[in-house]
Structure 1
């Protein structure tokens, strides 16, 4: 029995080492090394953090309806300010004319 084992042992060892090498090659192709896995986990965490920040930013942004309402309100304010500016310009012109008249009156009185 021992003689048979000594005769067959080189064949069994060769087949075992070939199968072991093939198994290791398959495992290295099937699974990622721990260092690469850690890098991927860090990248995913970073992307997740950025995504959460973007989602929070988007939640704080106004909706389309709110922007439309704000646009209408600003348009109305612009029109009101334009009307006020025209009124102020008219008042300024009248004040200038009154001042001119007052200065003319004073000059006539000084003569």
Structure 2
């Protein structure tokens, strides 16, 4: 039979066990580091998403924009009516100015007819 020399076998087995343990331990620490980096990156993404959600919530909705458009159209119509009234008032004022000018000319000439 084979004679096993334990003085050589035990150190070899211990060395192999140490290599295996070291491989698993370093692999686990590498996985932990990568997991931590990934978790940190996901936290940063979550903060950016929260910021974006807050910005979107503060934006006006389609209905809000539609209400603003309707209000602007009403104001445009009101401004058009005001323009027409002011134009009529301007015409009245120009007629009044010509009448007042004729009266003034008449009074400056001493009330004489031409």
TM-based fold match above 0.5: yes
Which structure has more RCO (C-alpha within 8 Å, separation ≥ 6)? 2
Question: In terms of Rg, which structure is larger?
Answer: 2
Which residue of 65, 68, 71 corresponds with 2:69?
A: 71
Which whole-Å deviations, capped at 9, do the CAs of 1:14-44 have from their partners, x for residues lacking one?
31232133223432443326xx826853x54
**What does 1:55-66 align with in structure 2 at a 5 Å threshold?**
55-66=53-64
Number of residue equivalences: 106
Kindly state the Cα deviation for residue 82 of structure 1 after the two structures are TM-superposed: 1.1
SS at structure 1 position matched to 2:33: coil
User: RMSD value over aligned CA atoms?
Assistant: 2.9
Query: Distance between the aligned counterparts of 2:43 and 2:8, measured in 1?
Result: 57
More helix by share: 1
Cα 1:51–1:74, aligned 2, differ >3 Å: closer, same or farther? same
- TM-score norm. by structure 2 comes to 0.66
